Amino acid sequence: GPKVLQIPSHQIIDMGQMVTLNCDPVSNHLYFYWYKQILGQQMEFLVNFYNGKVMEKSKLFKDQFSVERPDGSYFTLKIQPTALEDSAVYFCASSSGGARDTLYFGAGTRLSVL
Amino acid sequence: GDSVTQTEGPVTVSESESLIINCTYSATSIAYPNLFWYVRYPGEGLQLLLKVITAGQKGSSRGFEATYNKETTSFHLQKASVQESDSAVYYCALVSDTNAYKVIFGKGTHLHVLP
């Protein structure tokens, strides 16, 4: 079936640095999502992005977070600066018609902030 | 807010045994949410297993089934005879009728099927 690719699978950075997580969504999908999962905890919604805009974000989506998809390329999540509590697995997803449609997920990027 | 509660894992069963993973939901809207089961196999991203958008209906896929029960606000996942290849993490989820921008997930249930 359709695949969502996340690059890299594991990223280690020092606290305070900037990090960009990349997601290659399913082609022709229009809705893009990021979720965050801390080890042993629930997978939490961060943000929904459609037509170049953030449609919905949670309180976990701090001011240090930003998303974009320039020119239909990768959908990215940038964290600047990073904090220790940002350590988690970040999952990207895409769908053709909103959250009621099937979401296709990547395998996740494990972010370790030291 | 809206939430999903499911069986805490890990759940371990032997091949060919029956399985039930419980899921209950809480939705703040007057209308009924859309309900889903997603599954994550080792090393892969979550994928949709089944979904039901109408209360009272049953969804099924790969031998799994779940019935949308609005009286008990439940959406339990069942399978009559599991296989070792069913070992994975299963997530119950909902999309609210009033907010179609996000899927709300349960904590996930890790299923181990012994050969």
- CA–CA separation, B31 vs B79, rounded Å? 29
* pLDDT tier, B7 (very low <50, low <70, confident <90, very high otherwise): very high
Looking at residue A23, what DSSP letter applies?
Answer: E
The list of chain A residues with pLDDT below 70 reads none
In this predicted structure, what is the pLDDT of residue B110? 96
DSSP-derived secondary structure for chain B: --EEEE--S-EEEETT--EEE-EEEE--SSSPPEEEEEEE-TTS--EEEEEE-STT-EEEETTEEEE-BTTTTB--EEESS--GGG-EEEEEEEE-SS-TT--EE---EEEEEE-
CB contact under 8 A, B44 and A107: yes
Q: pLDDT tens digits for B72-97? A: 999 999 999 999 999 999 999 999 88
Could you report the per-residue pLDDT of B21-58, keeping only the tens digit for each?
Answer: 999 999 887 778 999 999 999 988 999 999 999 999 99
Burial string for A51-63 (b: 16+ CB within 10 Å, else e) reads eeeebbbeebbee
Chain B residues lying within 8 Å of A1, measured CB to CB? 47
pLDDT of the residue at B97: 82
- Does pLDDT of B99 surpass 90? no
Q: Are A107 and A9 in contact (CB under 8 A)?
A: yes
Of A45, A100, A102, the CB nearest to B104: A45
Query: How confident is the model at residue B78, as a pLDDT?
Result: 98
Substitution target in A100, A101, A102, A109 with the highest count of B β-carbons within 10 Å is A100
CB B8 within 8 A of CB B22: no
